[in-house]
Chains A and B, each alone.
Chain A
Amino acid sequence: MSDATGAFTSDIAAGGATRDVYRPGHGHGSAHGWATGHGQGGPASKFVTVAYGFWIFLLSDIIMFSAFFAAYAVLARATAGGPTGRELFDLTRVAVQTGLLLTSSFTGGLATLAIHRRSMAGTQFWLLVTGLLGAAFLFLEVQEFAAMAAEQAGPSRSAFLSAFFALVGCHGTHVSLGLLWLGTMMAQLWVKGFRPEILRRLHCFGLFWHALDIIWVAIFTLVYLLGASP
């Protein structure tokens, strides 16, 4: 295609043929601009913009967590003569918690696949399993916090414990809010069915749940495993 004819090709007509959107070696010709990521082709669908906005929220949430991680990394040895991570952390419990949250992320993915099949029973079942696994995770975490507080190792004992409770507690708060959201979505899906806005919300919830698992990966390796290793 020469540049002369290319100048008259409209975007709609040019879209008919399958081609490489970046067209390497073609420079910045007027007719070659049909590339994604360049804001061309009109506004994106609401599904894409909503999910992208939620993606930005998740990344800023992770940046907020990075501040808690930085505080913990700096204060991890500031035990003020109190108990250390080695004495406090029960790695069996952490292994079970990791398994629960990882499996709930997996079943959340199965729920997404059921949504794509538009299977109401399958979606509700997998969402319920996801929620139960998340609740079991939360139960173990509350149990751990209660045991630590009973051993005089609460958040006010040392800078290390303040940072620990802030970081892990913030993740636990996210899981609790996620469970609340999950219950709401199950009810909304039940009443309203697979409507576009429900599908968008379910998609955002899936992103949120997977992101929580990513943050837990950082917590269980950097806080628990590193803290408990000699």
Chain B
Amino acid sequence: MTDIDSRIDEDLDRRDSAPGEETITEHEPAGGLTGYLLGFGLAILLTIASFLAAQTDLIYQPAVISALVVLAIAQMGVHLVFFLHLTTGSDNTNNVLALAFGVLIVALVVLGSIWIMGHLNQNMAPMSAHQAEMMP
């Protein structure tokens, strides 16, 4: 009996599960081979949608950025649910909370940088032709 085997028989609701653990979604649509096939199919669809949004005129041009960001976030969600087996179950609370904190820091770093640097750019004095020539 190995570490994993002995725990499968355990009452799964009575312990925290490891991130990405196969057993927690075993009897759900997101588990087993069906889960991986579903996730793979959804990820392919979202990838094709991203390429279509960027390469065709299907989407109003100024909205392409938003469409791409939304599709990327959706695909990350598909990966988290179907490949990394993240659930909302109470045995997964620790994993989800750690992820939520990570997402908060990522949002602060990325959005904060874009916001601040955009403002700094606008407040810069315009460069004269002479200065532009002197640029290295």
List residues of chain A with CB under 8 Å of any chain B CB. Answer: 15, 18, 21-22, 34-37, 41, 44-48, 50-52, 54-56, 59-60, 62-63, 66-67, 69-71, 73-74, 91, 95, 98-99, 102-103, 105-106, 109-110, 112-113, 116, 194-196, 199-200, 203, 206-207, 210-211, 213-214, 217-218, 220-222, 225-226, 228-230
Contacts and interface: CB of A to CB of B under 8 A. Distances in A.
Given A18-B11, A52-B18, A229 B64 contact: yes
Nearest to B117: A74
On chain B, which size bracket covers the interface?
35 or more
B31 to A, nearest CB: 10
Nearest to A50: B18
Interface in B10-28: 11, 13-22
A62 to B, nearest CB: 6
Contacts of B32: 113
B3 A21 contact: no
A55 B106 contact: no
B107 to A, nearest CB: 8
Interface of B: 2-4, 7, 11, 13-22, 32-33, 36, 39-40, 43-44, 47, 50-51, 53-55, 61, 64-65, 68-69, 71-72, 75-76, 79-80, 83-84, 90-91, 93-95, 98-99, 101-102, 105-106, 109-110, 112-114, 117
